[in-house]
Chains A and B, each alone.
Chain A
Amino acid sequence: MALTCKELWSEVSNYIDGSVSAEIRDEIERHLAQCRHCTALIDGVHNVVVLVADGRTFELPTGFSERLRERLKLEVQHGSL
């Protein structure tokens, strides 16, 4: 029996992570070939995952490491640790 949209939604994450069985993957891809909305959903989620995994999206604040080193140095020197 063909996969419904609702059934596909519950597998979006696993599909994107490549953690579905070959059988489910084939069913999803058969569904996607004929469903524009689910294709847009998968593409959108895939884009989100790619964009947020990029180191430029969430960067360390400028000077973070320098401030941390300074703080560590002071605390170690003053024996408060």
Chain B
Amino acid sequence: MNDSPAAAIEFVNVTYRISGNRTLISDLNLSVRRGETLMLLGRSGSGKTTTLKLINRLVSQSEGKVLVDGRSTTDWDVIQLRRHIGYAIQEAGLFPHYTVEENVALVPRLERWDAERVTARVREVLQLVGLPYDEYARRYPDQLSGGQRQRVGLARALAADPEILLMDEPFGALDPITRAELQHEFLELRKTLSKTIVFVTHDVAEALMLGDRIALIDSGKLKGIFAPGEFLRSPDESVQPYVNAFRATQQILNSGA
């Protein structure tokens, strides 16, 4: 994909309204660089998940354009678009009637890879997320812990080797220790895979730790895009509450030490 445009994903004047004329996203302009991890940070109901879903057309914008690899998502065949983009969500959304292997193999199978290649790939991605194939491939989702399910969700999203990965609070439902573990592994993983990642979170610390850049979204509007360092120093009044909350936590921790 050397001839592809610099932006992997681009929002051009995107507005999304639902019935009753409620505007969830208004006039969004945002460009996601190829290979970066962009965090969409915002409070509950700010429109960050909706923004994510506009990328793989789980929802369709009312106005404006969303470009994926330089092509408007409305010009893509929607099935092709979605198979081209990995998607990992909170609670993983694993298929309970499929084994770990069947879950991970789904998109490669739909894409008609041959059986050997599918098995090899399942082995590879399970290894990548720290679940040895021989131990986990035959298990069902309800035989896994929350953290393991989330790993399988990530493996499934990576299975067809998509260049773009969308993650919607993937670590949101995990206990703090497992979450920290997965966050660190995510950072390691990101180094080895050159993916464009859009990651939704409401957790400032997570955004600062995992993101190359942070896009702050509030009430359906983009308030700015910051590198983690800039974010902490920003005088912007919409950034302040987040930074204050983050600092307050740190202070409590420091004073306790």
A, B assembled together: no
- Please report B residues at the A interface, Cβ cutoff 8 Å: none
Residues of A within 8 A of B (CB): none
